[in-house]
Amino acid sequence: MPVIGIDHVQLAMPAAHEDAARRFYGEILGLKELPKPADLAARGGVWFSCGAVQLHLGVEKEFKPALKAHPGLVVDQLAPLIAALTEAGHNVKHDVPIAGFTRIFTDDPFGNRIELLEPIRG
């Protein structure tokens, strides 16, 4: 099989909103910001590490949020994230569990759909 993994997932964001991305993805979700390569930094956006995969937010000139397509981020504890999201003013939408996970959906500051999944232990 020629494809052996996923290096990163990219979401779009509007220009000049990197601070909002850092608050949501870095402060609320706890992802670690990665330095962008110097030749790409001028384009704007922010990169984060998410386990073995990276999450890139790239500036899109005529930005439209992803309303259906979304990353599914596995979390260790969902309850504290729900509290932090709610406190920060982000809507949390509960959904039916899928095999092995409790999950919710929320939107990032730009309206992109984000799924958060906590493995069911037991």
11-43 confidence digits (pLDDT tens): 999 999 999 999 999 999 999 999 999 999 999
Q: Tens of pLDDT along 81-117?
A: 999 999 999 999 998 889 999 999 999 999 999 999 9
Cβ proximity of 46 and 16 under 8 Å: no
β-pair type (8-13, 53-59): parallel
Question: Is the distance from CB of 7 to CB of 52 less than 8 angstroms?
Answer: no
